[in-house]
Structure 1
Amino acid sequence: MSRAAAFEDALQSFLATLQLERGLADHTLMGYEGDLRQFIAFLVAQNVADWQAVQGEHLSDWIGSLSDEEYAVSSLARKLTAVRGLAKHLVSERWRQDVFSELVRGPRLSRKLPGALSPDEVDRLLRAPDETTPQGLRDRAMLELMYSSGLRVSELCNVSLQAIDLESGLLRVTGKGSKERVVPLGKPAIEALERYLEVARPKLVKPRTGSELFLSQWGRALSRKTFWVMIKKTALLAGIEKPVKPHLLRHSFATHLLEGGADLRAIQEMLGHADIATTQIYTFVRGQSLTAAHDKHHPRNQT
């Protein structure tokens, strides 16, 4: 048996737990597995026999070696999170008695504030698609829905016909970890969806089309990659100079709601954040906006 094989059973047990109990997506699981196998390769190179022999110093040395290779701080933090999760799993499943990662400190992450479009830029973006074509009507409906409800791009592309209720103005969304939430639809989004469903979607339907709401020209669910390309092209048509990515509309949704006086807890629920701390980052964005307004308009700043 190779040295790496001594680590395999616990690794597979941990990955199975992530998949079955936490419902992580396949690409997230692959990321965890890649990081953990990289750590295992380091342990093998250090002649560590098995999980029982792993110490906090091994983890610190590994993170240090990756820092020397100029990994981004965010990548190092992600890798450390994966190992910490595994270390706790080893204890819960009685592979060892202590959490070896407990005293290892991670790299400091600088808080990166999310950007946002201005209301005028959002309006220009939403009006840019060519609504004389089925694809243009679809694109307008997708953009309106994303900005109206703060959806993630994966959630937007996975919306089914059964999940949307235009009469009540509500949408049932399946988010991270297969958690469901209900979000409201604004009037402009409802109207754009009605036009798309009545005029455009029937023209995009093919013999094997399923219940996906938004369809490609081949009658299949529109992919995230296609939506990324679309939103970039639409931003150029709208004359928006800043880089526009799908998540920017989600950030704009949250920022504009907060500026309009919405409750932070309500925004948290609509965004599908498990922790209010994740939503609180938008209060920093709001603070920056207030500071800019103060600098621009306060009479004592005009001298």
Structure 2
Amino acid sequence: MIEPDKLHTFITYIQLEKNYSELTIREYENDIYQFIQFLEIEGVKNLNAVEYVHTRLYVTNLYEKQLARTTISRKISAIRSFYKFLHREYNIRDDAFQSLYLPKKETKLPHFFYEEEMEKLFEANKASDPLSVRNIAILELLYATGIRVSELISIELRHVDSSYGVVRIMGKGRKERYVPVGDFALSAVEDYVLNSRPKLMKHTSHTFLFVNNRGEHLTAEGVRYILNGMMEKASMHSTIYPHMLRHTFATHLLNNGADLRSVQELLGHVHLSSTQVYTHVTKEHLRKTYMNAHPRA
């Protein structure tokens, strides 16, 4: 592998100094490693020998694999960041990337559940066994707050403040925010903490809020598995993923009169443009309502 020590140093930098999430670090490492593999195939001997023709060829290669534009953009951004770091720390040329443009983002609207679908999901999964109580608490909290799955699994018991009705969230880039939680979600979480979590903990001991059936810290993969199981129980055949509940949270708030700036703050978006995609969803919702309801539509 071409100069593995430099990749290792960069990964350490984004982990310790930039405080990137584990998922982002893993993606960056994979993206850069794949680029280095491509360079080796092309006969490039070191990182300083990369020319614009190599970067263009690599991007063409990515398009030929029919990857999503968002994936290609992420890969280019990861490699650009790597080379900026190399230029600063080792004086390695990064001009091969200066004329490289990111592909335009696809204008896909986020998928979300309608309110009736959420009700069906909650109703079908009501039960008193420890795992069902935990699952409802997870669903309620994701829908009530719009937090990311990485944020959900990072919540500790001390982060939930029932008296004020808020939960402390550690977001992207280690940015902290407090998110309000409604009565339904608070009640579900309290029921889980008092009656289910102690039964699931068995002989383990830690402070994370959500645990698996062995009492261990619940993972992101575990949350996805739980949500898929809840969908099956509700006989809902559409796909679910944790971010879909985040989309649902934002869409329902805007549909019911919340302003965009408030939703931005609740979601923890740095830029308003990240939140504005939901205005397209609400406009589409209004258009469908009009087309279905107006006698001469």
Does TM-score exceed 0.5, indicating one fold? yes
- The equivalences for 1:150-189 within 5 A come to 150-189=146-185
After alignment, is 68-77 or 258-267 more displaced?
68-77
From 100, 103, 110, the counterpart of 1:104: 100
2:41 aligned residue:
45
1:286 aligned residue:
282
From 124, 128, 132, the counterpart of 1:132: 128
In structure 2, how many angstroms separate the alpha carbons of the residues matched to 1:257 and 1:226? Answer: 27
CA contact (8 A) 1:138 1:200 kept: yes
CA contact (8 A) 2:70 2:106 kept: no
From 1, 19, 26, the counterpart of 1:30: 26
Q: Deviations over 1:108-152 (max 9, x none)?
A: 331221111111111121222242211111111111111111111
In structure 1, how many angstroms separate the alpha carbons of the residues matched to 2:170 and 2:39? Answer: 38
- CA 1:102–1:115: 2 relative to 1, 3 Å: same
User: 1:264 Cα deviation (Å)?
Assistant: 1.4
Q: Deviations over 1:71-105 (max 9, x none)?
A: 34333222211111123223333514653211112
Superposed structure 1 runs of 4+ greater than 4 Å apart: none
Paired residues in the alignment total 297
- The equivalences for 1:169-248 within 5 A come to 169-248=165-244
After alignment, is 183-192 or 193-202 more displaced?
193-202
- CA 1:26–1:187: 2 relative to 1, 3 Å: closer
Q: Which amino acid aligns with 1:172?
A: R
In structure 1, how many angstroms separate the alpha carbons of the residues matched to 2:254 and 2:223? Answer: 26
In structure 1, how many angstroms separate the alpha carbons of the residues matched to 2:99 and 2:68? Answer: 22
2:177 partner SS: strand
Unmatched runs of 5 consecutive residues or more in structure 2: none
Unmatched runs of 5 consecutive residues or more in structure 1: none
CA contact (8 A) 2:201 2:211 kept: yes
- CA 1:172–1:95: 2 relative to 1, 3 Å: same
CA contact (8 A) 2:147 2:246 kept: yes
Q: RMSD value over aligned CA atoms?
A: 2.1
1:19 aligned residue:
15
TM-score normalised by length of structure 2: 0.91
1:75 aligned residue:
71
1:54 aligned residue:
50
Q: Which amino acid aligns with 2:227?
A: I
User: 1:155 Cα deviation (Å)?
Assistant: 1.7
